[in-house]
Amino acid sequence: MAVKSVEEINKLTEEDIDRIIQMAWEDRTPFEAIEFQFGLKEKEVIEFMRLHSKRSSFQMWRKRMSGRNTKHLLKRVSLDPRFKCNLQRSISLNKISKR
């Protein structure tokens, strides 16, 4: 990695590595969320994905992520950046959410 040291990357558990990869593939998860949770900036996430993905998977991911506005908080169009399903209240069996 260009910015993070090898020791810092080796401190990540398998669960952390899997979660970073999952968050990187998700359309609605911005790079800022990955940075907040794991301390990896966008360029570091790209390097991380390059190291932890097959070449074809990495190329597919880069093609998908390039120019995607939802991966950057400042480029998002919506006023409320959170996603909430209209059925969430009825699906959740939480009594508080039904008030």
Asked whether 4 and 40 are in contact (CB, 8 A), the reply is yes
Mean of per-residue pLDDT scores for the chain: 76
Question: Which tens digit of pLDDT belongs to each residue from 14-32?
Answer: 899 999 999 999 888 888 8
- DSSP letter for 87, please: T
Q: How far apart are CA 19 and CA 29, in angstroms?
A: 11
Residue 4 scores a pLDDT above 70:
no
pTM equals: 0.65
